[in-house]
Structure 1
Amino acid sequence: MISWDEYQLLARELLKRSIGREDNPAQHEAIKAPVRESQFLVAGPGSGKTTVMVLKILKYVYVDNIHPHTILATTFTRKAASELNSRIINWGNKIRDALLEEARNQDQHHHLEGLKLDQIRTGTLDSLAQELLGHPRVLEEQATRSILMQKLIRDDVHRHPDLLNYLKLMGNQQGTLSLTGMCDLLLELKDRIYHDLVDVSDYQEKIEHPGARLALECLEEYQKELVKGQLYDFARLESALLEELNTGEVDLADLKVVLVDEYQDTNLLQESIYFHLAKKAVGNGGNITVVGDDDQSLYRFRGATVDLFTQYQNRIRRELDVEARVIHLSQNYRSTPQIVDFCNAFLEVDQDYQFARVTSKPDIKATRTGKGHYPVLGLFRRDRKTLARDLSRFINQALYGEGYHIEDLTIKLDKKDSSILMASPLEYTPHSARRFPHYLRHFLEEEGLEVYNPRGESLERAPATELLAGLLLECLDPDKSVENSLARLPSKARSNFHQWRKTARKGIILEEVRTEWKGIPELHLLELWYDLLSYTPEEDVVENLRVEALTRTIEQATHFSRFQGRVIPGEEESIQEVYWNLLIPLATGAIEVDEMLLNQQPAPPNRVNIMSIHQAKGLEFPLVVVDVGSDYSRIHRSHAYKRFPLDGDRASHLEDELRAYSPLGEPVRTTRDRAFDDLIRQYYVAFSRPQDLLLLIGLSPVKDGYRVDKERVYIPNVATGWDREARWPWRGLGNLFLI
Structure 2
Amino acid sequence: MTTVAPPAPVSLPDFYAALPRLPGGTLPLSADQRRAVEHDFALPLWVIAGPGTGKTHTLVWLTLKRLLVDGVPPQRLMLTTFTRKAATELRTRLIHGRQALVDAGLRGAGKLDLSQVMLGTLHELASDVLQRERYPETLRVRLLGDELTQQFFVRRTRNPLMDCDDLKFWQRFSMCKDSDVFPPNKAKRAEFAGKLFNRMTENSVDLGLMRASGEPHFILLVGAYERYLHDLHAGHRTDQSLMQRHFLEYLKSPAGQAWVADGLTVVVDEYQDTNPIQEEIYFTLAGGRGDLTVVGDDDQSLYRFRGATVEALTNYDDACQHFLGRKPAPLYLTENRRSHPQIVAWVNAFIGGHPEMNDPVVRVRAPGKPPLVARADVSGTYPAVAVVAEADNPTAAGKVAGLVADLVHGGLVSDASQVALLTFSTRESTQGIGAYTDAIRAQGLEVYNPRSKQAHLDARALALVGAFSVLLDPDYAPVNLVAPLPRGVPEYLVKARTAFQDLLDTGRHDDLWDYVVNSQEAVRQSTIDPDWPYLTRTGKQGEVTLSSLLFKLLSYEPFASDLRDPAIGERLKALNLILAEYEALFSDGRIKLAPHPGGGAQVDGWTLYNFYSVFVEGFHDGLNDPEDAEASLQPGMVNVMTIHQSKGLEFEVVIVLRPDRQPFVSDTHQLEDEFHAFSQSPTRPARRRTQDERAAEDTIRLFFVAYSRARRLLVVAGQLTPDTAPAWDRVMGGAYASGLIRQKNDLTTLGAHPL
TM-score by length of 1: 0.85
CA distance in 1, matches of 2:680, 2:588: 40
**Can you give the 5+ residue segments of structure 1 that lack an aligned partner in the other structure?**
104-110, 404-411, 429-433, 633-638, 707-712
SS class of match (2:718): strand
Equivalent residue runs for 1:526-675 within 5 Å: 526-537=547-558, 538-539=561-562, 540-561=565-586, 563-570=587-594, 572=604, 573-579=606-612, 581-589=614-622, 591-593=623-625, 597-599=627-629, 601-629=631-659, 642=662, 648-664=665-681, 668-675=688-695
Deviations 1:700-720 (A, max 9, x none): 32xxx47xxxxxx94344543
**TM-aligned CA distance change 1:516 to 1:477, over 3 Å:** closer
Equivalent residue runs for 1:98-137 within 5 Å: 98-99=104-105, 114-134=111-131, 136-137=141-142
Equivalence for 1:408: none
**TM-aligned CA distance change 1:541 to 1:386, over 3 Å:** same
CA distance in 2, matches of 1:483, 1:47: 61
Q: Is the 8 A contact 1:504 1:510 kept in 2?
A: no
> Could you tell me which amino acid in structure 2 is paired with residue 276 of structure 1?
T
**TM-aligned CA distance change 1:172 to 1:669, over 3 Å:** farther
TM-score by length of 2: 0.83
> Could you tell me which amino acid in structure 2 is paired with residue 459 of structure 1?
A
The offset of 1:312, in angstroms, is 0.2
The offset of 1:206, in angstroms, is 1.8
CA RMSD of aligned residues (A): 3.0
Q: Is the 8 A contact 2:147 2:194 kept in 1?
A: no
Q: 1:390 aligns with which of 380, 394, 399?
A: 399
The offset of 1:182, in angstroms, is 3.9
SS class of match (1:12): coil
> Could you tell me which amino acid in structure 2 is paired with residue 513 of structure 1?
V
> Could you tell me which amino acid in structure 2 is paired with residue 122 of structure 1?
L
> Could you tell me which amino acid in structure 2 is paired with residue 511 of structure 1?
D
The offset of 1:373, in angstroms, is 5.1
> Could you tell me which amino acid in structure 2 is paired with residue 138 of structure 1?
L
Equivalent residue runs for 1:24-43 within 5 Å: 24-34=30-40, 36-43=42-49
SS class of match (2:653): strand
Point out the more displaced range, 257-266 or 133-142: 133-142
Equivalence for 2:309: 305
Q: Is the 8 A contact 1:75 1:125 kept in 2?
A: yes
Q: 1:448 aligns with which of 444, 451, 457?
A: 444
CA distance in 2, matches of 1:369, 1:680: 27
Equivalence for 1:11: 19
Q: Is the 8 A contact 2:162 2:189 kept in 1?
A: no
> Could you tell me which amino acid in structure 1 is paired with residue 342 of structure 2?
Q
SS class of match (1:663): coil
CA distance in 2, matches of 1:414, 1:205: 61
SS class of match (1:583): helix
Deviations 1:321-377 (A, max 9, x none): 243211001110111110000001001222241231111110011111343354211
> Could you tell me which amino acid in structure 1 is paired with residue 328 of structure 2?
A
Equivalence for 1:681: 701
Equivalence for 1:338: 342
Equivalent residue runs for 1:336-375 within 5 Å: 336-355=340-359, 356-372=364-380, 374-375=382-383
Equivalence for 1:241: 247
**TM-aligned CA distance change 1:312 to 1:184, over 3 Å:** same
> Could you tell me which amino acid in structure 2 is paired with residue 99 of structure 1?
G
Point out the more displaced range, 348-357 or 338-347: 348-357
CA distance in 1, matches of 2:628, 2:371: 32
Point out the more displaced range, 358-367 or 3-12: 3-12
Equivalence for 2:427: 426
Equivalence for 2:492: 496
The offset of 1:569, in angstroms, is 4.2
The offset of 1:514, in angstroms, is 3.6
CA distance in 1, matches of 2:607, 2:489: 19
CA distance in 2, matches of 1:698, 1:339: 19
Equivalent residue runs for 1:231-270 within 5 Å: 231-250=237-256, 251-252=259-260, 254-270=262-278
> Could you tell me which amino acid in structure 2 is paired with residue 266 of structure 1?
T
Point out the more displaced range, 158-167 or 379-388: 158-167
**Can you give the 5+ residue segments of structure 2 that lack an aligned partner in the other structure?**
1-8, 132-138, 505-509, 527-534, 537-542, 595-602, 746-755
Deviations 1:205-251 (A, max 9, x none): 325354x5555554444434322221111111111111111113443
Q: Is the 8 A contact 2:202 2:277 kept in 1?
A: yes
**TM-aligned CA distance change 1:358 to 1:176, over 3 Å:** farther
CA distance in 1, matches of 2:583, 2:642: 31
Q: Is the 8 A contact 2:720 2:728 kept in 1?
A: no
Deviations 1:499-526 (A, max 9, x none): 2223223414233234157256231222
Q: Is the 8 A contact 1:374 1:693 kept in 2?
A: no
Deviations 1:174-221 (A, max 9, x none): 7887645444333222121111111123213325354x5555554444
SS class of match (2:677): helix
Point out the more displaced range, 68-77 or 516-525: 516-525
Point out the more displaced range, 669-678 or 568-577: 568-577
CA distance in 2, matches of 1:29, 1:567: 63
CA distance in 2, matches of 1:171, 1:260: 38
SS class of match (1:419): strand
CA distance in 2, matches of 1:116, 1:564: 41
**TM-aligned CA distance change 1:444 to 1:674, over 3 Å:** same
The offset of 1:400, in angstroms, is 2.6
Deviations 1:21-49 (A, max 9, x none): xx622101001222545210000000101
The offset of 1:4, in angstroms, is 1.8
Point out the more displaced range, 161-170 or 272-281: 161-170
CA distance in 1, matches of 2:205, 2:160: 29
The share of aligned pairs that are identical, in percent, is 29
**TM-aligned CA distance change 1:603 to 1:370, over 3 Å:** closer
CA distance in 2, matches of 1:351, 1:463: 47
Q: 2:731 aligns with which of 715, 720, 731?
A: 720
CA distance in 2, matches of 1:585, 1:218: 22
Q: Is the 8 A contact 1:172 1:653 kept in 2?
A: no
Q: 2:143 aligns with which of 138, 145, 148?
A: 138
CA distance in 2, matches of 1:54, 1:489: 53
